[in-house]
Structures are given as C-alpha cells and as structure tokens.
Amino acid sequence: MTRADRQGRLADAEARFEASPEDADALLCLGRRLGYLGRYRLLLLYKGELGPDEVMAEVGEPGSIGFATVGYGVANWHLVNGREAEAMTLFESIVAGGQWASFGHLAAEAELGRRGRRWDL
C-alpha cells in the first residue's frame, strides 16, 4: 500500500496525478533523458492509463535493477488494488533476483516480512 493510503490520504494523493497534457509530455521527455522512464510508466499505471503487464514488459529480466525497482512499484499497485496474491508473487520474484542493494529489493523484503513470509528464498 502507498504511504498516502496507509495514512488515509489517498484522495489527496490522487488529486496530485491530475497533470495537464503539457506536463505529461515534459515528464515523458525528462524521464527518457534521465533514465526514469520506468518510474514515469508507474505513474501512468496508477493513473489507470497503463496496465501492470505493460509496465513490466519493458523493465528487463528478473534479477535486473529495473525489475527490482519498477517491479516493486507494480507489486505495490497490486496491493493497493486488492490483489495481494499477485503482489506477493512479484515481491518474491524481486527478492529472488538478488539485487540486494536496490530500493525495490529492500522494500520487497519489508513487505514480505510484514506478512510473516520468508524472503531468504
């Protein structure tokens, strides 16, 4: 779940997604230049403009840093949308990938631990 969702501020967070098309084009351009395209695609996922499979299609192989980073965002999206089984499967795949120093890996371990699941797969 997102921080805003856990704090009961989901409506406030959703309002922040209402960017104009010009803002979205600028973000896409900047994202491509800085290597943040995966994170931009996560924003589109949360806005409902892309599906989780579309986002994951371009992140690389399991075990890559992109898979761990963007995969965590997609797994979190699954949690927010009541799809815990899909989220847990993705969290486990992230941890099994071995990118132990990445944010996605560390956060996936924390999510698995919160639910009493082992992450030393």
* Domain positions in the chain: 3-114
The four Cα atoms 64, 119, 8, 42 give a dihedral, to 10 degrees, of 10
User: What's the farthest any 2 CA atoms get from each other in the chain?
Assistant: 45
- Stretches where the chain sits below pLDDT 70 are 1-36, 118-121
Residue 83 is predicted with a pLDDT of 95
Question: pLDDT (tens digit, 9 = 90+) per residue, 85-95?
Answer: 999 999 999 99
Q: Which of 80, 84, 7, 20 is nearest to 45 (CA)?
A: 80
CA distances from 52 to 41, 63, 92, 105, 120 (A): 10, 18, 17, 18, 26
Cα separation of 65 and 100, whole Å? 9
Residue 46 is predicted with a pLDDT of 87
Q: Which two tokens stand for residue 26?
A: 């600028």
pTM: 0.73
